[in-house]
């Protein structure tokens, strides 16, 4: 059994993991940079260890510092959270070489899904629909031209090692192909040290819909329904909801079953998310995230499963405590990502928080590590809180979220709360009628900036 978990992360997700550990009677070890010495996850953990200076390369992204901290504190497992080292297969392998349990999938699955060309092939072989595109890597402009003629314009060139929307470029027609191809290769080489690119048909008005799965090491796999994460800006999710307003129960169950079947076929273990674009009634796989996601709480709110707890149980070798038929979906949930940034220009706004008051009441959950007097450091991601709300139906959820946003007080810095409040009054959003480009148009940005 796992008795002590080192949490290799910071902020709200470190707290989220710490809470699950405490409820399971598991000791927690926080790690932190010198900039995070006053952070809530450090204060609440059973033990804490400083692992380096503020720069992430020297602290939260330093595998040696983290594994040393686990060894010194006698932790028997590491939960990586999201971001940082969570999808680094070498780190997961290194953890296991030190006889420490990695709370996540096998290093092989992380590696496979991190290589998007290989992932797409494995996923297609397992029976999941993918975006029509090149057959693997495109190695020359000539091959790019032939592929584009075959699949039809507009096309999207993507980096095999891609992430965070980097290395992607649209070509509207053959005149723009050469520039897009060269741009994508160069950015992929610079950002990821791997210039391999592939091509996909560019979908004009899709929604981003993803399916949550949980799998144990005994071959049991369940899906926990979908999340709609179409409200994005520069490929960053802003607000997520479950279930998707664009799917009916039959479509939702069908994609869940397809994914479950595929995960069983590839022998996946732990929590994972399969991301799709959904357009004109069809699903197209884009990538798989082999980790816990920021937006996992909307799933927890509608099905009552504690995803972090299940990840820990599965990592310790226990079978899932439920079958697919035990999973019931109740009502509707939404999550607002609240960032320390100007709500309209999106410029970061780190600094000291003055008054702080979190909303409460029935169906309201706030996952955050901030407090009055806390100084938001400038070194890390700008997300400082997640406001998650549940209602018996989408309309009740919307009204509750609107109410909860009105109660939220974070003084001293700018936050994205006013953007969320504006969304709550937008007729398209209220009707569930939006695609992945809608938000950028709403805030007045050029569309399709891929
Ligand atoms: P990354 O790992 O860099 O985030 P993804 O493959 O997950 O890359 O794609 C990120 C986003 O880019 C998607 O959420 C979607 O908005 C857009 N996108 C990706 N593939 C396509 C496509 N074939 N057509 C249109 N948009 C796409």
Q: What is the 3-state secondary structure (H, E, C) of 110-166?
A: HHHHHCHHHHHHHHHHCCCCECCECCCCCCCHHHHHHHHHHHCCCEEEEECCCCCCC
Residue pLDDT, tens place only, 92-133? 999 999 999 999 999 999 999 999 999 999 999 999 999 999
Q: Could you tell me what percent of the chain has a pLDDT over 90?
A: 96
From the CA of 326, how far away is ligand 1's center (Å)? Answer: 33
Residue pLDDT, tens place only, 262-314? 999 999 999 999 999 999 999 999 999 999 999 999 999 999 999 999 999 99
Q: Kindly tell me if the per-residue pLDDT of 163 is higher than 90.
A: no
Tokens of 232: 């994005």
92 lines ligand 1 (CB under 6 A): no
From the CA of 210, how far away is ligand 1's center (Å)? Answer: 12
Residue pLDDT, tens place only, 341-400? 999 999 999 999 999 999 999 999 999 999 999 999 999 999 999 999 999 999 999 999
Beta bridge partners of 221: 215
User: Is the distance from CB of 131 to CB of 202 less than 8 angstroms?
Assistant: no
Q: Which residue has the tokens 């399971």?
A: 24
Residue pLDDT, tens place only, 307-354? 999 999 999 999 999 999 999 999 999 999 999 999 999 999 999 999
- Nearest-angstrom CA–CA distance, 399 and 393: 10
Decide the pairing of beta strands 282-289 and 270-279. antiparallel
**pLDDT at 449 (0 to 100):** 42
Residue of minimum CA distance from atom 23 in ligand 1: 202
Q: What is the CATH number of domain 132-201?
A: 3.30.1490.20
203 lines ligand 1 (CB under 6 A): yes
Q: Which residue has the tokens 């129960």?
A: 249
DSSP 246-274: T--HHHHHHHHHHHHHHHHHHT--EEEEE
From the CA of 263, how far away is ligand 1's center (Å)? Answer: 21
Q: Kindly tell me if the per-residue pLDDT of 446 is higher than 70.
A: no
Residue of minimum CA distance from atom 13 in ligand 1: 235
For 339-342, the CB contacts below 8 A with 24+ separation are 339/382, 339/383, 339/384, 339/415, 339/416, 340/376, 340/382, 340/383, 340/384, 340/413, 340/414, 340/415, 341/382, 341/414, 341/415, 341/416, 342/414
156 lines ligand 1 (CB under 6 A): yes
User: Is the distance from CB of 423 to CB of 241 less than 8 angstroms?
Assistant: no
Residue of minimum CA distance from atom 8 in ligand 1: 165
Nearest partner of 28 among 18, 37, 20, judged by Cα: 18
User: Is the distance from CB of 279 to CB of 207 less than 8 angstroms?
Assistant: yes
- The number of the ligand 1 atom at minimal distance from the alpha carbon of 275 is 7
Show me where the domains of the chain are located: 4-88, 132-201, 207-443
Q: Describe the crossing of helices 296-303 and 307-315 by its angle, rounded to 10 degrees.
A: 100
Instruction: Give the CATH fold of the 207-443 domain.
Output: D-amino Acid Aminotransferase; Chain A, domain 1 (3.30.470)
- Nearest-angstrom CA–CA distance, 307 and 297: 8
Sign of torsion over alpha carbons 311, 312, 313, 316? positive
CA angle (193 as vertex; 189, 199 as ends), nearest 5: 50
Nearest partner of 15 among 83, 69, 60, 79, judged by Cα: 79
208 lines ligand 1 (CB under 6 A): yes
From the CA of 115, how far away is ligand 1's center (Å)? Answer: 15
From the CA of 256, how far away is ligand 1's center (Å)? Answer: 20
Instruction: Give the CATH fold of the 4-88 domain.
Output: Rossmann fold (3.40.50)
Q: Which residue has the tokens 């971001």?
A: 83
**pLDDT at 166 (0 to 100):** 86
Q: Cβ atoms within 10 A of the Cβ of 433, count?
A: 12
Residue pLDDT, tens place only, 205-215? 999 999 999 99
Q: What is the mean pLDDT of residues 143-156?
A: 95
Tokens of 89: 């297969």
132 lines ligand 1 (CB under 6 A): no
């Amino acid at each position: 059994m796992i008795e002590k978990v080192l949490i290799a992360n910071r902020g709200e997700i470190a707290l989220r993991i710490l809470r699950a550990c405490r409820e399971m009677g598991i000791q927690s070890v926080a790690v932190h940079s010198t900039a995070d010495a006053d952070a809530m996850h450090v204060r609440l953990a059973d033990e804490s260890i400083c692992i380096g200076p503020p720069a992430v390369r020297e602290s939260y992204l330093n595998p040696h510092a983290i594994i040393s901290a686990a060894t010194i504190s006698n932790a028997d497992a590491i939960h990586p959270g999201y971001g940082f080292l969570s999808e680094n297969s070498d780190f997961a392998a290194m953890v296991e070489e030190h006889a420490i349990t990695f709370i996540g999938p096998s290093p092989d699955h992380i590696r496979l899904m991190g290589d998007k060309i290989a992932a797409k092939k494995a996923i297609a072989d397992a029976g999941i629909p993918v975006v029509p595109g090149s057959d693997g890597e495109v190695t020359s402009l000539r091959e790019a031209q032939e592929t584009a003629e075959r699949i039809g314009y507009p096309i999207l060139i993507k980096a095999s090692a891609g992430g965070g929307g980097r290395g992607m470029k649209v070509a509207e027609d053959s005149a723009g192909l050469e520039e897009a191809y060269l741009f994508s290769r160069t950015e992929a080489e610079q950002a990821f040290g791997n210039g391999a690119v592939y091509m996909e048909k560019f979908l004009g008005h899709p929604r981003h819909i993803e399916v949550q799965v949980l799998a144990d090491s005994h071959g049991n796999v369940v899906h926990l329904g979908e999340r709609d994460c179409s409200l994005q800006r520069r490929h960053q999710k802003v607000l997520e909801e479950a279930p998707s307003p664009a799917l009916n129960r039959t479509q939702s169950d069908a994609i869940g079953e397809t994914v479950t079947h595929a995960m069983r076929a590839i022998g996946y273990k732990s929590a994972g998310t399969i991301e799709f674009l959904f357009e004109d009634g069809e699903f197209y796989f884009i990538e798989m995230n082999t980790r816990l996601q920021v937006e996992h709480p909307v799933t927890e709110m509608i099905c009552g499963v504690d995803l972090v707890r299940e990840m820990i149980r599965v990592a310790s070798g226990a079978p899932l405590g439920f079958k697919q038929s035990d999973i019931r979906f109740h009502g509707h949930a939404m999550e607002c990502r609240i960032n320390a940034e100007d709500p309209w220009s999106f410029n970061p706004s780190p600094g000291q928080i003055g008054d702080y008051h979190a909303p409460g009441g029935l169906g309201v959950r706030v996952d955050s590590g901030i407090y009055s007097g806390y100084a938001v450091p400038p070194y890390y991601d700008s997300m400082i809180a997640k406001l998650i709300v549940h209602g018996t139906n989408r309309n009740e959820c919307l009204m509750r979220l609107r109410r909860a946003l009105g109660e939220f007080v974070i003084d001293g810095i700018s936050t994205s709360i006013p953007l969320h409040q504006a969304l709550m009054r937008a007729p398209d959003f209220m009707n569930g009628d939006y695609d992945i480009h809608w938000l950028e148009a709403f805030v007045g940005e050029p569309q399709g900036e891929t």
